[in-house]
Structure 1
Amino acid sequence: MKKVIILAFVAMMCQQLMAIKTVPVQGSIIRPTDKHIQYTGRISFTNPDRPAFNYPGIQISAAFEGTSLRMLAKPKSGYFMAQIDKAEPFKVAFRGERDSVVTLATALADGVHTVKLMYVIEGYEFYPEFWGFVLDKGKKLVDAPALPSRKIEFIGNSITCGYGNEGLKKEEHFDYATENHYYSYASITARNLDAQHWVVARSGIGAYRNYGEAKSGSPRSCMPVQYEYTGYAYDLKLRQEASFLREKWDFTRYQPDVVCINLGTNDMSTNNYDLRLLKQGYQKLLQLVRQHNPQAKIVFLSGSMLYNKELQQVKQLLDGVVAEARKAGDAEVYRFDMSPISDDAWYGNDWHPNVYQDEKMAGELTAYLRSLMNWF
């Protein structure tokens, strides 16, 4: 029996290495199951050697010995931001059919170093997987610095994802190369507060109605449906494409101190919305979030892509949802409004906030959460 298990393991590792065709893999291969690797975010470990995910903001961190570091991932996984020690973060890409090995560091001083990785795009087309690290021969991972004790969850749409925030013009359309969650208001706020942040966000999603869809709503793919799952799928039928998309999320894996919900922009899109149904969507989502996070403070946000009548309607609606929740006995539900985009200088692609607007929103939200949570 032991021999069968060993042979199966060898076969699995050979299969994994055969998939890495871009360069010969030489050195110490560190599997994703190594106990020293720290993971944050909604990741499926159904196959522990191929951790899978598709929400932005997934983070992988470790401390390693030696002078170099390479990362292994499924080809066409998309974009990550990487930071070695305290150096400036940089973007790395797994975009080609054979891109499965990327060098993150070389010619470092021989010693112990840290790496932080963040998945910075929406991977609903790529189904990304992390396959491990490659170190200098004979080197290994060691204990990494502890993760922050403060915990935030962000629930949102394209604004939270960082859609187009590296773009230069509002007239230019979506490109994965210009989406960078690392520079989103959510990610910046978390760094400002020295907090973990986990993300459940997808462009186009709403509390009851996704962008441009029927006035009656998107009952199979709006946020109250998607919130229950480890990964995002356009439609429940598409969960057949990848096993992790069918996986219900285990909420015991992460209990945030505060949950920030930023939805409504897509619900109000194309002048085809029903405020009564939107309020029901907010209430249903609040009920789910509270059910799964009984101790968390919950903050409903507005901003930054709603204006005029629609902005006022959403604000009034959210004020009502919070007031009714408090009257019903939930005293830990709150409201905060971030600034709408006010000038062309603050736009990225497709009229979304650029990195400067993200920094502005993060500054506002940081100050609010610092006071609310007493995080000084």
Structure 2
Amino acid sequence: MKNIIDCNNAKITVMGRILRLDEGIAFSYPGVSISFNVQAKNVELVAKCAVGKGRIDVIINNTLSKQLVIAKTPRTFRIFSAKHKQNVKIELLNRGESWHGVINLISLLIQDGELIEPPQLPDRKLIFIGDSIVTGALMERHPNAKKGPQLANAYQSFGMQLGRLLKAQVHLIGFGGRGLIQGSNMLASEAQLPEIFPLTIPVPPYTQKWPVDAYIPEGIFICLGTNDFYINTPDLSIFKRTYALGVKHLLNLYPDVQIMISEGPMLCDTSENEVKKRILIQSLKDLVDELKEPQLDYLACINCKGDNFDPHPTLAQHTQLARHFMPLIQQSLRWPEN
């Protein structure tokens, strides 16, 4: 006998921005996850993609089990199976980006069992704002790989790794190719992070705003500038003014938050980009000096040149980034070492 559970069920724990629907939940930001404890023999998931195609990591008892590819046609996926009824924790995590797909998790089908007490999330809360670096783009590459959404891995992004190291919840508010004032495509029609940040799902036709009081972070880490400087150096006065307005807006939303800004690991693969990066770093340092805001810190990044496949950080480099930033974030937030 199968017990049908709507994915809106109170015994399902959510981390990340979601939109609650008549049937289940929808989301698109990388790293959004739902987790639940279940006592059952078999568990199935009914899901579809409202827009595009999505990919979900299935994590059983904190160990990656499989990856699901979610398409527009609703499908039932077997996510757990055992000979006998067992108690397990299952986590379903969005490994891709908003432009890959908007995922709709509709229901769980539980054979000979039920949901039990829900998993508890850490008390600490962080937000990482940025571009494809923050989202973990192109991380699953190999010598014969073709570039595309299938290579993304939000779970192993440096921000998600930091969340696990620091025992904190993490929201990744990232969007590949976008920047603070201009993206790598240089298209005026594309929304940049100041326009993306307020949205629950940042792709058309969705327009719903995320309720500010639903998640109050202790720290916000901003890694922007790579795409702004990618094609050409932007107008620095506009860049710094927009950044300053963004910092002030975040402090208005979250009066007790600590904001940490960094240039990120890229823009170091050519001599031309190295010059741009020095300008970006100086702009961020100037911003901190000019604002004189005790709740704003500049955190210097290490360089990661990617590899011969692509300049985006590799999995190993994301781990290096997490280890590099961990003590800096602890110091900025005055969090004791774990």
With the length of structure 2 as denominator, give the TM-score of the two structures: 0.91
Deviation at 1:372, TM superposition (A): 2.7
**Does residue 142 of structure 2 align to residue 168 of structure 1?**
yes
Q: Are the counterparts in 1 of residues 35 and 119 from structure 2 also a CA contact under 8 Å?
A: no
Q: 2:7 aligns with which of 1, 18, 32?
A: 32
Q: 2:197 aligns with which of 224, 227, 230?
A: 227
Identity in percent: 22
Tell me how far apart the structure 1 counterparts of residues 71 and 302 of structure 2 sit (CA, whole Å): 38
Q: Return the letter of the residue paired with 1:186.
A: G
Deviation at 1:102, TM superposition (A): 1.5
Tell me how far apart the structure 1 counterparts of residues 201 and 178 of structure 2 sit (CA, whole Å): 14
**Does residue 318 of structure 2 align to residue 358 of structure 1?**
yes
Q: State the superposition RMSD in angstroms.
A: 2.1
Structure 2 residue ranges without an equivalent (≥5): 269-273
Tell me how far apart the structure 1 counterparts of residues 88 and 11 of structure 2 sit (CA, whole Å): 13
From the superposition, tell whether residues 224 and 202 of structure 1 become closer, same or farther in structure 2 (CA, over 3 Å): same
Looking at CA atoms only, which structure, 1 or 2, has the larger radius of gyration?
1
Tell me how far apart the structure 2 counterparts of residues 294 and 348 of structure 1 sit (CA, whole Å): 44
Give the corresponding residue for 2:151. 178
In the alignment of these two chains, the number of paired residues is 329
Give the corresponding residue for 1:23. none
Q: Are the counterparts in 2 of residues 173 and 349 from structure 1 also a CA contact under 8 Å?
A: no
Give the corresponding residue for 1:43. 18
Output one character per residue of 1:114-148: Cα deviation in whole Å (capped at 9) or x when no partner.
Answer: 111210101334221111211113x2111123111
Q: 1:129 aligns with which of 97, 104, 117?
A: 104
Q: 2:208 aligns with which of 227, 241, 247?
A: 247
Q: How does 1:1-376 map to 2 (within 5 A)?
A: 27-45=2-20, 47-75=21-49, 77-86=53-62, 88-96=63-71, 98=73, 100-107=75-82, 109-137=84-112, 139-168=113-142, 174-213=147-186, 218=188, 221-233=191-203, 239=204, 241=205, 245-307=206-268, 308-326=274-292, 330-342=293-305, 346-347=306-307, 349-373=309-333, 374-376=335-337
Q: Comparing both structures, which one devotes a greater share of its residues to helix?
A: 1
Give the corresponding residue for 1:12. none
Tell me how far apart the structure 2 counterparts of residues 117 and 324 of structure 1 sit (CA, whole Å): 43
Structure 1 residue ranges without an equivalent (≥5): 1-25, 234-238
- Equivalent position SS for 1:281: helix
Tell me how far apart the structure 2 counterparts of residues 135 and 54 of structure 1 sit (CA, whole Å): 25
Tell me how far apart the structure 1 counterparts of residues 318 and 123 of structure 2 sit (CA, whole Å): 24
Output one character per residue of 1:277-323: Cα deviation in whole Å (capped at 9) or x when no partner.
Answer: 21122112212221212111000012211232111111111111112
Output one character per residue of 1:67-114: Cα deviation in whole Å (capped at 9) or x when no partner.
Answer: 22222211564111121114x213422344546222111116523211
Q: Return the letter of the residue paired with 1:231.
A: I
Tell me how far apart the structure 2 counterparts of residues 108 and 254 of structure 1 sit (CA, whole Å): 40
With the length of structure 1 as denominator, give the TM-score of the two structures: 0.82
Q: Return the letter of the residue paired with 2:156.
A: Y
- Equivalent position SS for 1:190: helix
- Equivalent position SS for 1:211: coil
